[in-house]
């Protein structure tokens, strides 16, 4: 088995493993991955990470997601430096405690069609009594320990009064008309406070953090939406906040190398010539051709300003391609160093257990609301035919899918960043083109070469520019429960314009990937069928990037 430390992460925070190690018992010899880690004092694979199994059984509702070891089938686990195990365990325990908080009970409710039962938590309402009256079926209340906040009640109350939930489920009539096939419905996460789904998770985690002894918050960000959401909740609760974000930085030698190297690459040259031949030529166009990708702080400058305005410290990350992967590695490095005082608010349903589960749970409000809105708008028991979402690390997609995974008649489709095409070397289509390995503490699909080195991803959208994916998506893919497709940068840009013009909604470039997939999907579906798309964020942050590619004056020249 090839097991190497990813070149992009020399301090062993990132361990890339080309293939899963064979099953082993407690007494068996350590795998190469274990040895590679153990040879460095700062990192060992946790016992909880025990060797991944590679079986991919079809999904069954009884499959625990995750199991007690934090695995989704073969995927997930905890592949982290020893120093983080205690923090992850504390987080896991605190989360479990919050779930079992006596302020909440679980009751069964019956769906509209009266046939199917599902579980839903309801608040007993120690702080929220009026809004959530005690169902008569529940036993009398047990007093809550004064130091324990009723997390779920608090979470729901802030989601409602501060974030502005529930977000609408909106019928996109002109898009529907445009395709002439399935009805298109948008779950409007872009209307949340701060403009994306990310705040659901940041809020949940900050409330959890308040229950623990951690007083300092760190986070990584790519598109800046998770950074803004985290800076926002930290401002609300008065916590110091540090955000890691990639910044393009280029030394003189590198500049000359790239500048002269540029003229030898025909595809770049043709891009240059193309930009010359159109009225959209500008210096920024030229610099995009010369130095593609790698500049999150530049391409999401609006969000950098917002984070700083909110009082967060934005720490530039210059390593690697200066994108989300590198920001995540840097945040983990900080966490390893300051674990006693610091909570890491990871922004997607990725990373070591319990993050994929926890982030999914906090985001699952999206799917829960969607179900209720389908019933109220379409009639009891009526459900969509397809759920569609873009996939970076996978949190907005899992937030929408989770509620419906066991409704096997509903197609779940995740859309990845196809960049310049999945057959090129420039894409971030992890599930389409990757293979299982370990990145940022979790075993999942990964863009890697034969030696297990992480391949630098590419996407026009900073939030999808990531070589890994949350482990539950890997499980759903291998189990055949969810489908994954990729669309190119150009297709996403086209959708960005189309949805702006047809619906008066400027979507985030991340979201535009899911919207772009409608081109293939919607016309092929019968009239009367329904697609719900997670409109994960708004596109204000992306107008500068888009303006570099689009020539918009009075109209659009394509």
Ligand X SMILES: Cc1ncc(COP(=O)(O)O)c(C=O)c1O
d(CA 139, CA 543): 53
Q: Side-chain half-sphere of 52: how many Cα atoms within 13 Å?
A: 32
Rounded to a whole number, what is the largest CA-CA distance in the chain?
76
Binding segment (CB under 6 A) for ligand X, from list 101-109, 373-381, 388-396, 495-503 = 388-396
348 near ligand X, rule: CB under 6 A: yes
Binding segment (CB under 6 A) for ligand X, from list 169-177, 314-322, 387-395, 544-552 = 387-395
As measured in angstroms, the least distance from the Cβ of 2 to ligand X is: 28
Closer Cβ to ligand X, 95 or 484, answer by number: 484
Closer Cβ to ligand X, 77 or 537, answer by number: 537
Query: What residues between 395 and 424 interact with ligand X by CB under 6 A?
Result: 395-397
Closer Cβ to ligand X, 207 or 400, answer by number: 400
Residue 396 burial class via C-beta count within 10 angstroms: exposed 0-12, middle 13-18, buried 19 and up: buried
Among 46, 132, 225, 285, binds ligand X (CB under 6 A): 225
Among 125, 384, 392, 467, binds ligand X (CB under 6 A): 392
Residue 41's alpha-carbon distances to 36, 177, 388, 443, in angstroms, are 10, 61, 44, 22
Binding segment (CB under 6 A) for ligand X, from list 1-9, 337-345, 386-394, 448-456 = 386-394
Query: What residues between 163 and 222 interact with ligand X by CB under 6 A?
Result: 196, 222
**Spatial contact of 122 and 105, defined as CB atoms under 8 Å apart:** yes
Name the CA radius of gyration of the chain, rounded: 23
Instruction: Identify the three-state secondary structure at position 445.
Output: strand
d(CA 42, CA 11): 8
Structure tokens of 424?
């090129």
Residue 331's alpha-carbon distances to 226, 257, 355, 456, in angstroms, are 13, 30, 14, 18
Q: Which of 152, 198, 325, 426 is catalytic?
A: 198
Query: What residues between 272 and 331 interact with ligand X by CB under 6 A?
Result: none
Closer Cβ to ligand X, 334 or 542, answer by number: 542
**Spatial contact of 413 and 400, defined as CB atoms under 8 Å apart:** no
Backbone angles phi, psi at 5, to 5 degrees: -80, 135
d(CA 150, CA 213): 17
d(CA 11, CA 5): 9
Closer Cβ to ligand X, 101 or 465, answer by number: 465
440 near ligand X, rule: CB under 6 A: no
As measured in angstroms, the least distance from the Cβ of 404 to ligand X is: 16
Quick check: is 46 catalytic?
no
3-state secondary structure 400-423: HHHHHCCCCCCEEEEEEEEECCCC
Among 181, 394, 418, 434, binds ligand X (CB under 6 A): 394
Closer Cβ to ligand X, 45 or 531, answer by number: 531
Quick check: is 62 catalytic?
no
As measured in angstroms, the least distance from the Cβ of 132 to ligand X is: 28
The neighbour count for residue 23, using CB atoms within 10 Å, is: 11
Query: What residues between 444 and 483 interact with ligand X by CB under 6 A?
Result: 463-464
Q: How far is residue 266 CA from its own chain's centroid?
A: 35
As measured in angstroms, the least distance from the Cβ of 226 to ligand X is: 6
As measured in angstroms, the least distance from the Cβ of 364 to ligand X is: 13
Binding segment (CB under 6 A) for ligand X, from list 59-67, 326-334, 389-397, 546-554 = 389-397
**Spatial contact of 497 and 523, defined as CB atoms under 8 Å apart:** no
510 near ligand X, rule: CB under 6 A: yes
As measured in angstroms, the least distance from the Cβ of 142 to ligand X is: 36
Q: Which of 78, 183, 536, 541 is catalytic?
A: 536
Backbone angles phi, psi at 3, to 5 degrees: -140, 115
For strand 104-110 and strand 117-123, is the pairing parallel, antiparallel, or unpaired?
antiparallel
Q: What is the total count of residues that contact ligand X (CB under 6 A)?
A: 21
**Spatial contact of 468 and 9, defined as CB atoms under 8 Å apart:** no
Closer Cβ to ligand X, 342 or 536, answer by number: 536
- Which residue's structure tokens are 């190497």? 4
d(CA 401, CA 377): 19
Q: For residue 532, give the DSSP letter.
A: E
Query: What residues contact 494, with CB distance under 8 A and at least 6 apart?
Result: 516, 558
Structure tokens of 323?
């994108």
**Spatial contact of 495 and 471, defined as CB atoms under 8 Å apart:** no
Q: For residue 49, give the DSSP letter.
A: G
Binding segment (CB under 6 A) for ligand X, from list 141-149, 288-296, 331-339, 503-511 = 503-511
Quick check: is 130 catalytic?
no
Closer Cβ to ligand X, 392 or 437, answer by number: 392
Closer Cβ to ligand X, 66 or 393, answer by number: 393
d(CA 526, CA 521): 10
As measured in angstroms, the least distance from the Cβ of 396 to ligand X is: 3
Closer Cβ to ligand X, 290 or 543, answer by number: 543
Among 393, 419, 452, 457, binds ligand X (CB under 6 A): 393
Q: Which of 156, 183, 189, 220 is catalytic?
A: 220
Binding segment (CB under 6 A) for ligand X, from list 38-46, 286-294, 375-383, 391-399 = 391-399
Binding segment (CB under 6 A) for ligand X, from list 15-23, 307-315, 418-426, 508-516 = 508-516
Query: What residues between 531 and 550 interact with ligand X by CB under 6 A?
Result: 536-537
Active site residues: 198, 220, 536
Q: Which residues bind ligand X (CB under 6 A)?
A: 196, 222-223, 225-226, 348, 390-397, 463-464, 508, 510-511, 536-537
């Amino acid at each position: 088995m090839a097991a190497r430390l990813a070149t992009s992460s020399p301090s062993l925070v990132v361990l890339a493993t080309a293939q899963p190690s064979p099953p082993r018992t407690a007494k068996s010899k350590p795998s190469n991955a274990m040895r590679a880690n153990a040879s460095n004092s700062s990192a060992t694979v946790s016992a909880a990470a025990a060797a991944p199994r590679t079986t991919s059984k079809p999904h069954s509702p009884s499959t625990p997601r995750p199991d007690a070891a934090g695995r989704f089938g073969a995927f997930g686990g905890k592949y982290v430096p020893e120093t983080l195990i205690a923090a992850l365990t504390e987080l896991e325990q605190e989360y479990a405690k919050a779930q079992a908080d006596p302020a909440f009970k679980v009751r069964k409710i019956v769906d509209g069609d009266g046939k199917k039962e599902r579980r839903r938590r309801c608040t007993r309402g120690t702080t929220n009594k009026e809004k959530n009256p005690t169902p008569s079926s529940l036993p009398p209340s047990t007093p809550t320990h004064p130091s324990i906040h009723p997390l779920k009640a608090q979470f729901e109350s802030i989601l409602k009064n501060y974030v502005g939930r529930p977000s609408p489920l909106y019928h996109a009539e002109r898009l529907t008309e445009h395709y002439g096939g399935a009805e298109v419905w948008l779950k409007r996460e872009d209307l949340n406070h701060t403009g994306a789904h990310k705040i659901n998770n940041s809020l949940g985690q900050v409330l959890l953090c308040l229950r623990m002894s951690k007083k300092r918050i760190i986070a990584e960000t790519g598109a800046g939406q998770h950074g803004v959401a985290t800076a926002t909740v930290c401002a609300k609760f008065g916590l110091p906040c540090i955000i890691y974000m990639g910044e393009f930085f280029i030394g003189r030698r590198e500049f000359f190398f790239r500048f002269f190297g540029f003229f030898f690459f025909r595809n770049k040259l043709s891009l240059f010539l193309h930009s010359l031949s159109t009225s959209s030529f500008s210096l920024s166009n030229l610099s995009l051709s010369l130095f593609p990708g790698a500049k999150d702080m530049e391409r999401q400058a609006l969000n950098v300003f917002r984070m700083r305005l909110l009082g967060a410290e934005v720490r530039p990350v210059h390593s690697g391609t200066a994108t989300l992967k590198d920001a995540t590695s840097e945040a983990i490095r900080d966490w390893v160093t300051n674990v006693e005082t610091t909570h890491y608010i990871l922004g997607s349903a990725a990373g070591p257990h319990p993050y994929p589960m926890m982030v999914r749970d906090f985001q699952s409000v999206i799917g829960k609301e969607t179900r209720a809105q389908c019933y109220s708008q379409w009639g009891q028991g009526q459900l969509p035919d397809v759920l569609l979402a873009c996939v970076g690390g996978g949190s907005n997609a899992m937030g929408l899918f989770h509620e419906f995974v066991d409704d096997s008649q509903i197609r779940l489709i995740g859309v990845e960043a196809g960049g310049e095409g999945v057959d090129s070397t420039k894409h971030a289509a992890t599930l389409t083109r990757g293979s299982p390995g370990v990145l940022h503490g979790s075993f999942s699909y990964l863009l890697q070469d034969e030696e297990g080195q992480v391949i630098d991803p590419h996407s026009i959208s900073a939030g999808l520019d990531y070589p890994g994916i949350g482990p539950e998506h890997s499980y759903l893919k291998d189990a055949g429960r969810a489908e994954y497709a990729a669309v190119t940068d150009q297709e996403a840009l086209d959708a960005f314009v189309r949805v702006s013009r047809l619906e008066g909604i400027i979507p985030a470039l991340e979201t535009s990937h899911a919207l772009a997939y409608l081109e293939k999907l919607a016309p092929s579906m019968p009239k009367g069928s329904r697609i719900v798309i997670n409109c994960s964020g708004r596109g204000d942050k992306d107008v500068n990037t888009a303006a570099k590619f689009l020539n918009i004056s009075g109209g659009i020249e394509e």
